[in-house]
Structure 1
């Protein structure tokens, strides 16, 4: 495994030196977020040798990173948009260690950036300045599992895909499925209230999470880890931490409800002429497929063709203006496949579907999902990606894409839209050769103003992070923003937890 510095050297030796220095430095060492977005550092202390000595007394020297080369990957988000300048990464392995670290940092006014799998797209999991990175990857143990109720209790650093594999061994599945499942942590999923591909069937994390253990800024541990489906005793404190992105406390353990694994999974992949037909298809799917409908995804031609071409994938359908991926989870494979095939035939006769396939073969389903799940990654191949995630009323779902194309015109390589029709969440990728202040100023705040006009939300499932706090007023009433500030002041009066994130 090459480090960023080794890759940089290898790349420069074999290619045009000046051009590759520019490209590779952008790839591995993007501009500091503080400079790029003109942010002023808050009045926090800086890490001293005495602080590092204290952390060594808790963690030992093997779970502390201070070397620039070792720390560098933790400072940069995966889409290479945000970059901090932390000099210290701490890797606790239990709640007690997190508690001691935060208690010390709160007393010394040392800012902390909690970090999981670092798969976010709004800069929430990387520092902005020199905040201490609290990486939870070593907290990856499953504490308990109840085969009868489906309640799984685990530490925050567990990788989502590993949890799903464990649940499947018990004839259950995780209620959450993301393209980043092989890397993202359940603690980060909960902290950002991640949505994913099958929210339509299994709901969001506010419904699936049964309990949470979290550590406040002062080191006190909040134990709300009961795994009951019903617990109607006062304030539902766990919900404070779901979606708070580490600004109110660091999630250390999660109790989550796992639904029964479907006996039959069937996938439909369709080519569609226009977006209006997608809305009709969704409406018909709800009535025709009912309780077995688990996912209803759309992607425009730019999204699919760019992904297929850049990542050398195979598209089983010809090129169409739009594509739909429809998945069912049921208990009878023959019944479900007949139901979906009948739906496909009916919609083709109606002219809503131009072409399509229905399959229950795992390899074929996986190849189709691979295209959908890698749309964002394809936008990073040799280019710079402005990635946005918003919610809109379904009837206005795609309207923002042609508006952006007209506004940005030849200044960008591509604007594409894809996402979860079932819950109104559209992802917008704007692809350019490299970061441009001119393009950035044309996108923001325009994109959020348009979302606000349509009564949408500036963030659907990726959180607010570092990139969106200044635009939160487009989605939140002043009274709600003030209450958020009041809660933050109560929970973290010194403001050490993930500063510069979420709140304006």
Structure 2
């Protein structure tokens, strides 16, 4: 039921010049990489079946471009292995021939990490989509890396368990890509990140070596925890082929509230109250500003949830196992924030239909912005005192020339700053107004220039804003050790 409660310069270093900057510009192709020939294709056809080697331009086109149509490569070959052994043979051959490879999952990323920059072979993991086992006692699920996240959830739900990660792209993103990018999502506040939830990984190195760290143990203190190297490495250190993951029991009592506030200071106060008063049942705390709501209303079949427009909207989810207990805690919390005039209006949803309607407002923002025109997306972690300030600064900077919106996982300090213009394609003058200013601002407050989307091909030369030179040097040393020919996802993550 639905209850009404109340009423520059760095850019030029990254890219080469192209005419009018009318598209995302790329680093030059490294001449050390071999060009694919018919002999290569024949070799791959001997390893894979004919349906798993795509060479027709019409078949390859969709793999060459990200879903936002921002990044586009020129690959002429897509390989779709079905086994770890096939991945191993492919990489061994590519390493010997010095053919560059880009691993690709559901291709739902936002920083160009899963599409080729030039003519790299696309290694699609889509055919490696089996759930291989589940232990109902420990709650550990083991699956191949191409398994779609929503399919894992559908498998677990009847068994009384749930996936600890939830994303708007869950219907198409794949668990291997989630792990490779260390995706965060909307319930990190409750279940934590993938570094804690992934128990084991099987991966293939650039030379074809298979690294079997597919443990299902919660405790294993035997030397270096090698699986952590692959989590968040964006396919630059190895290709993840299988994962084992701890899954929590599926909550039986779920409530979602949508509230409006007239200041961001009140948003922060409500967050503090929610953490202290809701505690163990708080599973999500999301925030959207009014421009986000407006863009969703313009492009989706949804209604404005409230009559009076307010500058800030909060979506709070609780999930537990005792409806009476959860309702008591939630009611005490609601009474507290109402009595102190922290919210202007609000509604509470307890049935599936209205819960989905509330979540649609939040999860449709990215898709709706994409329908507006070109979207310049920045995924930041910032201290709460500066969390929304950057949105206001950028809004003043553009003075109506662009639509500047802010939303995200305020519960874990993750802001999605999006700047959209009706003019496509992407424009140099817009980039120059944003970069490197946004990165400098974030760095000055000891934030992160990538909270959960990764670095991809968008941010390698901005990595120094979040990592020290010694840290970057160590990362390069690890990369050179594990992939000395640099065939895995080149031009990504690390600066040249």
- For the residue of structure 1 that corresponds to 2:416, the secondary structure is strand
How many Å separate the matches in 1 of 2:372 and 2:350? 35
Change (3 A) 1:494 1:99: same
Give the one of 105, 117, 122 matched to 2:94.
Answer: 105
**Are the counterparts in 2 of residues 391 and 460 from structure 1 also a CA contact under 8 Å?**
yes
The CA RMSD over aligned residues, in Å, is: 1.4
Q: Superposed, which structure 2 residues align to 1:167-246 within 5 Å?
A: 167-246=156-235
For this pair of structures, how many residues does the alignment match?
473
**Are the counterparts in 1 of residues 286 and 315 from structure 2 also a CA contact under 8 Å?**
yes
Give the one of 457, 465, 475 matched to 2:456.
Answer: 465
Relative to the length of structure 2, the TM-score reads 0.94
Higher relative contact order (CA 8 A, sep 6+): 2
Superposition misfits of 4+ residues, deviation over 6 angstroms: none
Give the one of 476, 479, 482 matched to 2:467.
Answer: 476
**Are the counterparts in 2 of residues 268 and 340 from structure 1 also a CA contact under 8 Å?**
no
Other-structure match for 1:37 = 25
**Are the counterparts in 1 of residues 372 and 421 from structure 2 also a CA contact under 8 Å?**
no
Other-structure match for 2:373 = 383
Other-structure match for 2:138 = 149
| 1:196 CA displacement | 0.3
| 1:392 CA displacement | 0.5
Matched, 1:342 2:332: yes
Other-structure match for 2:352 = 362
Other-structure match for 1:90 = 79
| 1:96 CA displacement | 0.5
| 1:260 CA displacement | 0.6
**Are the counterparts in 1 of residues 372 and 420 from structure 2 also a CA contact under 8 Å?**
no
Matched, 1:502 2:493: yes
Matched, 1:301 2:293: no
Other-structure match for 1:351 = 341
Q: Superposed, which structure 2 residues align to 1:418-497 within 5 Å?
A: 418-433=407-422, 434=424, 435-497=426-488
How many Å separate the matches in 2 of 1:409 and 1:74? 37
How many Å separate the matches in 1 of 2:395 and 2:216? 47
Other-structure match for 2:106 = 117
Gaps of 5+ in 1: 1-30
Give CA deviations for 1:39-75 in whole Å, capped at 9, x if unaligned: 1111200100000000000012211111111111111
How many Å separate the matches in 1 of 2:24 and 2:261? 40
Change (3 A) 1:345 1:309: farther
- For the residue of structure 2 that corresponds to 1:347, the secondary structure is helix
Give CA deviations for 1:252-295 in whole Å, capped at 9, x if unaligned: 00000000111211111101111000000000111111111111
How many Å separate the matches in 2 of 1:36 and 1:396? 29
| 1:339 CA displacement | 2.1
How many Å separate the matches in 1 of 2:411 and 2:283? 9
How many Å separate the matches in 1 of 2:327 and 2:67? 38
Other-structure match for 2:66 = 77
Matched, 1:259 2:251: no
- For the residue of structure 1 that corresponds to 2:318, the secondary structure is strand
- For the residue of structure 2 that corresponds to 1:386, the secondary structure is strand
Change (3 A) 1:332 1:315: farther
| 1:395 CA displacement | 2.0
| 1:320 CA displacement | 1.3
- For the residue of structure 2 that corresponds to 1:410, the secondary structure is coil
| 1:34 CA displacement | 12
| 1:481 CA displacement | 0.3
- For the residue of structure 2 that corresponds to 1:379, the secondary structure is helix
Other-structure match for 1:136 = 125
Relative to the length of structure 1, the TM-score reads 0.92
Q: Superposed, which structure 2 residues align to 1:285-300 within 5 Å?
A: 285-300=274-289
Other-structure match for 1:56 = 45
Gaps of 5+ in 2: 1-18
**Are the counterparts in 1 of residues 81 and 124 from structure 2 also a CA contact under 8 Å?**
yes
| 1:382 CA displacement | 4.3
